Structure 1
């Protein structure tokens, strides 16, 4: 399975040294940013502007951002301006402009409603990119090809027992943490039953469209960041991620209407959503189990069970 990277080691002094080599004038206000599990990120100021430098063991994300910037040129897609990239101390780095604004999960219901047109517009631009020249499903390789032949294999790979990197040995969580095997497996089996509704649907997806990755400013998306999980699969996966973040806002029906009006295939929309929602929830459950956060784990579990109770009618 791809995307098994771990966060690289790059200390403050090394970052300062690199930036001094790259830039003509001194930098100011450098600070490490809170990040996920695969990148080391620093914010800094240069010539009165805010920038971001990211370090990774893999440069696929940076290559994809350059591709996306070219593909969506002139379409006003909220992608932070990509400035430069290279290799330093056996790590890949990329420098881009820092996006000003607040992450979407900080919005209340009124603010979310105001920004929804911008969210829809952004997603539809992304999901409308023509990928017919590229084959496969799942994570992209260096030739922009998906790394799996069918969607079922891609979905199955998420939770296979044998993993490398961050999820290596994750099955031990069933015996060493509060991660309940019977509950997890029941949800997994239902997800795989629903996978047939997503099979054959190929779109370019961000695949991590939530939390701090969507930056809002003045009721519009100012930037979509963190493209490390970009993949080919059903566009419903991007939608499900956002719906799960705001379970009380009845977003499923709104997304269905918008996508239908935009001439997307919305057949079996609910079943496809449930497949994606379970996948997202299972990943979140094991993540919080790994870090001992039982309250966060239970919140995700309660939420997906509520959604299944509301929408899942065991479609044939």
Structure 2
């Protein structure tokens, strides 16, 4: 299995999409770095900045439109979805552009200064009102989760048959990459042991809550982008942030905030372990597919030593 490659999009395809939705006048069209699944471009129209993203993955972007509506008005800096559609084999979405640089471009010290704000945003995401929806796991275009329970979702995510998805034929990674079957299955078994702790909780989860999906002007967080959104235990987002800022005291900062607010978190350690295992498995598989050996080994060590 080769590393996934984002779709190639020609200049004429970009210009045709923009003409169809906005009419003539799009300018300053430029590719954007970052993102592993979409090809993204910035542009200006009538003096306002936008982002155009393309994906060849099934069902791409419909959920982004739902999430944009769900989170708007909550003080969470997520971009508004302006339009979406399809051109040939590719889905596309046009979103407002949020100004700022990627948080990952800043030093560890600069990132740490913004941690209190990140914890606040994480808390606001978890507090989003999802009462009108049901289900767990990936958020479908209608706003409901794709699975009846967290366990059903966790099992389905790591099932061998992933036909038609990014993970189609992923078991080939055991043969063609650094992915080790015995390590993966050991961590999978541990994840299932913690599922009962995570299962009772159902909140909105960004799903990729880390520096590469955050924008800042250096003083504040200006945008949270590119969610892999789902419903489940919100500590999944905390686990993601902690693993991407292991030097930042993320977990303690979160606990301090909740304690100050008088918020009790039942079974915190067990739920966090379940979140680490759930996202860690995804990390192992993804890093192996992308050929990112160092990230794979670091995640492997962390997960195998988690309960020591």
TM-score normalized by the length of structure 1? 0.85
The verdict on how the C-alpha distance between 1:172 and 1:46 changes in structure 2, with shifts beyond 3 A counting, is same
Match of 2:75 in 1: 76
The verdict on how the C-alpha distance between 1:81 and 1:94 changes in structure 2, with shifts beyond 3 A counting, is same
Q: Distance in 2 between matches of 1:73 and 1:167?
A: 31
Q: Which structure 2 segments of 5+ residues have no match?
A: none
Match of 1:216 in 2: 216
Give yes or no for contact 2:66–2:142 (8 Å, CA) kept in 1.
Answer: no
1:127 is displaced (CA, Å) by 1.0
Matched, 1:241 2:253: no
1:65 is displaced (CA, Å) by 4.1
Partner of 1:53: helix, strand, or coil?
strand
1:54-77: CA deviation from partner (whole Å, max 9, x where unpaired): 234579664444444444444322
Give yes or no for contact 2:63–2:140 (8 Å, CA) kept in 1.
Answer: no
Q: Distance in 2 between matches of 1:60 and 1:126?
A: 23
Give yes or no for contact 1:198–1:272 (8 Å, CA) kept in 2.
Answer: yes
Give yes or no for contact 1:188–1:278 (8 Å, CA) kept in 2.
Answer: yes
Q: Which structure 1 segments of 5+ residues have no match?
A: none
Indicate the larger mover: 119-128 or 36-45. 36-45
Name the count of aligned residue pairs. Answer: 304
Q: After the TM superposition, which residues 177-196 of structure 1 pair with which residues of structure 2 at under 5 Å, given as runs?
A: 177-196=177-196
Partner of 2:241: helix, strand, or coil?
helix
Match of 1:203 in 2: 203
TM-score normalized by the length of structure 2? 0.87
1:95-135: CA deviation from partner (whole Å, max 9, x where unpaired): 12222222233333432232122212212222112222222
Matched, 1:53 2:49: no
Give yes or no for contact 2:84–2:94 (8 Å, CA) kept in 1.
Answer: yes
Partner of 1:254: helix, strand, or coil?
helix
Q: Distance in 1 between matches of 2:88 and 2:13?
A: 9
1:20 is displaced (CA, Å) by 2.8
Give yes or no for contact 1:247–1:303 (8 Å, CA) kept in 2.
Answer: no
Q: Distance in 1 between matches of 2:283 and 2:133?
A: 30
1:140 is displaced (CA, Å) by 1.8
Match of 2:141 in 1: 142
Match of 1:99 in 2: 98
Q: Distance in 2 between matches of 1:82 and 1:166?
A: 23
Partner of 1:182: helix, strand, or coil?
helix
1:146-191: CA deviation from partner (whole Å, max 9, x where unpaired): 1111111111122111112221221122123222211221111111
Match of 1:13 in 2: 12
Give yes or no for contact 2:81–2:94 (8 Å, CA) kept in 1.
Answer: yes
1:82 is displaced (CA, Å) by 2.9
1:90 is displaced (CA, Å) by 5.8
Partner of 2:204: helix, strand, or coil?
strand
1:223 is displaced (CA, Å) by 0.6
Q: After the TM superposition, which residues 223-302 of structure 1 pair with which residues of structure 2 at under 5 Å, given as runs?
A: 223-227=223-227, 229-262=228-261, 264-302=263-301
Q: Distance in 2 between matches of 1:293 and 1:172?
A: 16
Indicate the larger mover: 259-268 or 98-107. 259-268
Q: Distance in 2 between matches of 1:108 and 1:293?
A: 22
Match of 2:21 in 1: 22
1:243 is displaced (CA, Å) by 0.2
Indicate the larger mover: 145-154 or 73-82. 73-82
Q: Distance in 1 between matches of 2:210 and 2:13?
A: 31
